[in-house]
Each structure stands twice: as C-alpha cells, then as structure tokens.
Structure 1
C-alpha cells in the first residue's frame, strides 16, 4: 500500500484555496490539508508535509518570510510559491531562498501545479530508492549465504531467524562478542516484509549518555547549544523499516524509561519540542550481557527487559560450532585473496587441526583476523600452522594437541592456569568454575601418585 503524500495548501482566498485543493485531491495518493494563513500552517509543520503550496501575499505574513520559516524547520519540505504577480526578480529571489518552483496564478495553473508536484514526488522516490540501495549494498541476506555454517548449533539459529522474519515481533539477539549479532539482525530485516525500507543500526555503547535522546528521537533547532538545525532521530530514520539497537545493555538507566514509552506507544517527541511524532519501525536489539542478571542487579529496568525480550535468539560461540570453523576459515581466506587480487591460498591439514584445537575467545571476528594475517605472512600458497598468530590471552592454545585421558587433560589445563595465574588457586578455581578444594585435592593426588611410583621402584 502506497503511503500518501502530505501536501499543505496555504491560500487566503477561499475560492482559490478550494480550487487548488480540489485539483490536488483528484490524485488519491495525495493527502491535502488547507490553511487560510501562514501562522496556522507553520504550527502544523510537525506533521511533516512533503510539499507546501504557498500564496506569496498572505494577510499575516509575506511569502518570503513564510518560506524561510518552513525551510528553517525542515529543508526537505519542498515549497511551491503561487502568486498573482509575475515579476522575474521576485521569482529568482524566492528560488534562491529554496523554493522549488514559482507559479503565477493563471488559467493553466492546474496543469503546472500537478506537473510540479509530480516531479517533486519522482525526485523524492528516486532519492529514497538510492538510500535504500546504498544501505543494502546490493547484498542478498539469505541466511545460508550471509551466515556461514552447517553445525547443529547454527542450524537452530537459522530456524529462529526464519520465525523472526514472519512477523514484526521484537527480537533480542544475545551472544558473546564477535558472534555476528548485527549480521543476524540484517538477515532478519532483509528477509522480512520491511526489506525495502531502511535498516538503521545504532551502537548504544558508542553514544555519550547526554546525546542518547537526541540521537534516537532527534531534536529541534536551538534545542540545546550546538543544535543549529532540526535533526531527525534514528526512530524516524527507520520509519517503515528496522531499528537495530546494539549493545542495549550499555544504555543508561536515565533513558530506559523514555525508550520504554517510545516502544509501548510507538511515538517519540524530539528534544526541544512538545509535538508527538508517530513512528513505525521494527525493533531488534542485541547484547553480550545477561540482561536478566542486569535486572537483578538493578542496572536494567525489569519492564523494559520484558518489552524487549520478544523472540530471543542466542548466537552460539565459535567453540560450540566445531564443524563451522574450517568452513569459515576457508571462506575468509578465499574472500581475502580475491579482494586483494592474490593467488588462491589453502590450509594444510596441520593448520586445520590447530584451528580446531583453539577456543577462539574472540569468536568469528578473531578467526577472520587470524586467517587474514596468516594470508599476509605466508610465503607459500599453503598456510602452515607456524604462521597462525593466536591471542596470548587464551590459556588453552595447544591443550588438545595430544591424545590423553580426561584425567590427564584436566591436569594439563590446571598446570597451564597455575603458570598463567602465578599459582593463585582461588582465582584459577573461579576461572575454571571448579571448587578450590577440588584443585588442591587433584594436585595432592598427583603428587602422591608420583611419590608412590618412585617408592615402588626402590623396592
């Protein structure tokens, strides 16, 4: 269903106002509101008309002054000046001030006016389409193409993503850093009925607390120091599409109540204004925090949590997607070589084993960095394990390199942590989620086993 074009007709002559309004209303796609003076029209600009036809001479204000006020409010509103006089210098001056066209009152005004409005509409549609194409970047976000993987864990995610595309339910995407939460949000948007409308991502952790309201709701000119022009917020920018609020757990409590109201009422108020603006955007939020724990700790509003919960989708960490590690590694390697016009590279069997033995605390993002660096550092088309550069913060880079019993694996893990954390058993117990007494007992048993073995040899 096509959204109607809002048009204001500002004309003090009753007969002429009805004539202009009648001709425009012949097009069912136009929604026309008529005003007898500029003052009343200016008060209703918060309705965001796309076109204003403005009589040059009005009882309360000159057309030039009315034009300036309209453009100050929103430069995107197109103004058509309608006048009884046909002076070239006046027309040129008004066009310089931002008028889209200057039409003298004459017998052919109907055709000229309709053609002008039609041209404005074509231009606006073209600009809107260009913005949509820029956002999509020509990509098709089919799940299997945008999210690489065949493991059971990622298949469960595909199933949830498909459910999310069928309705406008709010989606809460959770997962560790680097698991692809924004990619999942894009997959939802570009496979939904809103795919031709904007996808607007916002990183809540990157916005200073004092600017959050302005960033999401927008502001009026002069609302605060530095607000030189009226600015549309992210909610309005995402109208008809999807608003993706990443790192929602970082939001200050002072703004949480305002966000809750905006989500419940589907309306916002720009900073510096008391006009209510209706918004229609699908909400997808993401966090690497446990929001329920944040609620219990008093850092996140319980009512907002349940409002955002909607359909929960948890992205698994890469260490739980063993089948996908090599698939992703090959994908990143092929794409990197192609983008940099390099000969195709491959991974040796030893390199694959090393990748599978690593826990990837940085998840997919870390895997991508490791593979790209290896491609740069490699001297041969086959990437060998010695040039893989893993994070030094991971305690288990080689723990799976030998075949051992589970008991021996446990001893090796504890030894690695003892070395890394300077024999701080309490800290190691917290890291491994084990009891400190268990670690002490295992160390004692191993010592006794070694002592017993030595004693037996003496006999």
Structure 2
C-alpha cells in the first residue's frame, strides 16, 4: 500500500547493477520510497516531483556531478544532495562540499552503510528544521493581532492599524501606555507578523537589571574584561541579530548607558566590553515605557537625541477604562481560559457581575482584570460568576480617585466610608477627623448611603 508520508529518495546512477543495489538497500526501510534514474536528463525531467533527498553519481554519461548539482540548485535550492563517486580525490570532494552538497561518499565496500547513516542524519536534520518552521508559524498565529489584543473597541482598532503599519517596515517602534495594558504582547505581535519573524525576539526589562550590569547585558563582554569575566558573553543586541530586540521600561536606562546605546543605534554595530571587534547588527528595535519620555527629556533625565532616535512609530495603548465593552469581552476570554486550564467546564458571567465589572476603572488595566476574573472563577458556585464573587483589590494611585466620574455626594460617601473603615467604625473619631457632625454620618448610614 502506498505510504503518503514516505520519505522520497531519488537515486541517479548510470551503473544499473550498483543502482539496483542501492535501491534494494534503501528499500529495507519501509518509510523510504525509492525512484531510480540512469541519466541526468531523465532525472531533471522528474525533479518537479520534489524528492526529499537525492543521491547522484559524479560521473554520469550525460553530465558531470558538479554541473548536475548546479542545475538542481537552480530548480530546488533546499533539497539535500549526496554525491556518490568512484573518485577518491580530496579536491573534488572539498569543492563539492564547498558548493553545498550534504555529503560525499566514495564507492567502496563501506559505501552502502555510510550512505544509510548519512540519509538518517540528513532526515533527522530536516525534521528538526521543519519542527522549527512549524513552531515559528504557530507563534505567528498565536500572536496574530486579534489573538494578542482581544476586543472590538474603536480605540483597539486604531492600535491594530498602527501595528499593521509597523510590520511593513523596520522602523523603530515606541510603545507607551499604563502598566498592564499589554506593551510586550504588542511588541511580540509586531515581530511575529513582520519579515523578521524567523529571527529571534529578545525581550529585556531595563528596570529588572542592576545599573552596574546593564552595559554588559546589552552589549556583552570579552574574557578578562573585568574581574569575574571568565569567558566571553554575548550581549542582548547580538542575540537579537536578524530579529527584534524589545527594551521594556526604557526610561529606567541610566544616562551613562544612554550615550552608548545611541552610538550602537547610529552605527548599527556593537563592541563587547573589553574587546575591539565590531559586530555588525541587523535588528529591529522596539521600546516601551509607562512614563512620559518627553517630560524626562525636559527634566534632563533622558537624552533628547536618543529620544528622537527611539521614537520611530509611536503606538500609544489605551487604558482599559477607555475601551468600553472590551472589559466584558476580555472577562469572558479570561474566564474561558481559566476554565480550560483547570478543567472546570464552561463558566458564565451573570448580569450583575457584568454590571460590576463594567463600572470599575481598572487602574491595573488588563493584568488586574485577569486577576479579578481568575479569583472570581475560583470563588463562584455552579460555574456562574456573580457580583458577590468579584473582589477588587486595586492600589489607589495619585489622582486616580479624582479621575473617576462621580457626583460630589458619591465622593463624600467614599471618603466617609474610607475613614470609618480606617477608624474601625468609630463615628466620633471619623467626624472629628473630617470636621463634620456625627449626625451627618448617622443620617447617611440611616439612608444606607454608606453601605
């Protein structure tokens, strides 16, 4: 029965007896499908069938092996080719290997076994390469825009438009937005949807690296460059060569290193600490920060020339509170994801829970929403999240309180509730601290405004 997954090997050998021996030998593996040709031209007429591997005799009656190899490469630039020859001249073998043949085997008593092992090795290498290609394609699909940033708001659609523009060129990209808005996810999506997706994506969190180690982490060092440098270290920029380097929290970069980073970006080359060799760079740079870099420049905390070099295409991520019903779309996504990962069965979100979720402002943005939904999924009964299952534990930041749209009465209630909780419901102490009458608090409690 024909094996659809057979490994197709073409043998080009003018010696019929030797060709039949090779065909029989390879046919011992049921996964191999062998097709044999006695002339170069007959083989070339069938090359469109796209074999997985080719063995060619160097001395064919109608074409030398090196010429045949060149013709193969003109038609198929990737198929592995093994040259089998009765010639034992080293120069012939070396020249063919330089041209790119996968192996050179001399016809002798050991040739069959050498060929057998060579085919196994080549097939294993091809399998690994195919797995890498498959994994990278999975990554590209995983980081498609719609799967990276979930939602349907107009604000999000504008971001998709900017991301699409970023994938078409190698322009530097600067991503801004509050903590938890998904800056690294956007950077990955841009990388895996661009022409650089076959290269490496190297993320670096500048805030997580001690200042004295930043330079060596970014640019690498040579053995003996300083005490403790026991060997050469490749820097993050070199690691990202051919791909993308993502510098998160770029505002945290020390001024002393900013000038060196600027030079690397200008010259498109890096020199390891303690070395002289210039390593040429082919990278895409994406930076991110939750701070206002323009204000940092004004405060002389960030170099103006570096600022303009990094700016490139600016992508400003909106906070979750400005994305309307995306909150509910994301909440449903996180609930489904949590249920799938923990084998809980489908989880629904009741209307009162939706109302509670949509009213909240999410100072921690998407990261906070996910934490809230995960906890609610654990606390809920019968796989339905209700308002009682939702707990907000956000940390109020400066100006966040006043940033919420409430009436003066609602703000007053919040302030009194805060101090009552702080004072263990001591009404007299709370009234004294806020300089209001105790009767005011009692009246508001009676009207259930402080519940």
Q: 2:251 matched to which residue of 1?
A: 249
Deviations 1:81-130 (A, max 9, x none): xxxxxxxxxxxxxxxxxxxxxxxxx7235426754975599899987876
Q: 1:142 matched to which residue of 2?
A: 144
C-alpha distance in structure 2 between counterparts of 1:128 and 1:296, whole Å: 50
Q: 1:332 matched to which residue of 2?
A: 334
Secondary structure of 1:255 counterpart = helix
C-alpha distance in structure 2 between counterparts of 1:332 and 1:249, whole Å: 31
Q: Shift in Å at residue 417 of structure 1?
A: 4.1
CA contact (8 A) 2:245 2:285 kept: yes
Alignment of 1:41-60 (within 5 A): none
Secondary structure of 2:325 counterpart = helix
User: Pick from 318, 336, 346: which aligns with 2:348?
Assistant: 346
Deviations 1:164-190 (A, max 9, x none): 111111110000000000011111111
Q: Shift in Å at residue 145 of structure 1?
A: 2.0
C-alpha distance in structure 1 between counterparts of 2:355 and 2:401, whole Å: 10
CA contact (8 A) 2:136 2:197 kept: no
Secondary structure of 1:156 counterpart = helix
- Residue 346 (structure 2) pairs with residue 364 (structure 1): no
CA contact (8 A) 1:318 1:360 kept: yes
C-alpha distance in structure 2 between counterparts of 1:221 and 1:130, whole Å: 35
User: Pick from 389, 407, 414: which aligns with 1:416?
Assistant: 414
CA contact (8 A) 1:222 1:229 kept: yes
C-alpha distance in structure 2 between counterparts of 1:380 and 1:320, whole Å: 32
User: Pick from 188, 191, 194: which aligns with 1:192?
Assistant: 194
Q: 1:173 matched to which residue of 2?
A: 175
Query: May I ask how many residue pairs the two structures share in their alignment?
Result: 321
Deviations 1:181-212 (A, max 9, x none): 00111111111111111111111111111111
Calculate the TM-score normalised by the size of structure 1. 0.63
Structure 2: unaligned runs, 5 residues or longer:
1-65, 71-87, 104-120, 421-433, 444-451
CA contact (8 A) 1:217 1:235 kept: yes
CA contact (8 A) 2:225 2:274 kept: yes
C-alpha distance in structure 2 between counterparts of 1:267 and 1:418, whole Å: 60
Structure-2 change in CA distance of 1:198 and 1:184 (3 Å): same
Q: 2:90 matched to which residue of 1?
A: 108
C-alpha distance in structure 1 between counterparts of 2:255 and 2:129, whole Å: 35
Deviations 1:48-72 (A, max 9, x none): xxxxxxxxxxxxxxxxxxxxxxxxx
Structure 1: unaligned runs, 5 residues or longer:
1-22, 28-105, 400-405, 423-439, 451-459
Structure-2 change in CA distance of 1:278 and 1:391 (3 Å): same
Secondary structure of 1:173 counterpart = strand
Secondary structure of 1:219 counterpart = coil
Structure-2 change in CA distance of 1:206 and 1:134 (3 Å): farther
- Residue 208 (structure 2) pairs with residue 206 (structure 1): yes
Secondary structure of 1:169 counterpart = coil
Q: 2:298 matched to which residue of 1?
A: 296
- Residue 260 (structure 2) pairs with residue 258 (structure 1): yes
Q: Shift in Å at residue 277 of structure 1?
A: 1.0
Secondary structure of 2:376 counterpart = helix
Secondary structure of 1:322 counterpart = coil
User: Pick from 155, 158, 162: which aligns with 1:156?
Assistant: 158
User: Pick from 357, 360, 364: which aligns with 1:355?
Assistant: 357
Q: 2:323 matched to which residue of 1?
A: 321
Secondary structure of 2:184 counterpart = helix
C-alpha distance in structure 2 between counterparts of 1:233 and 1:129, whole Å: 28
C-alpha distance in structure 2 between counterparts of 1:131 and 1:223, whole Å: 35
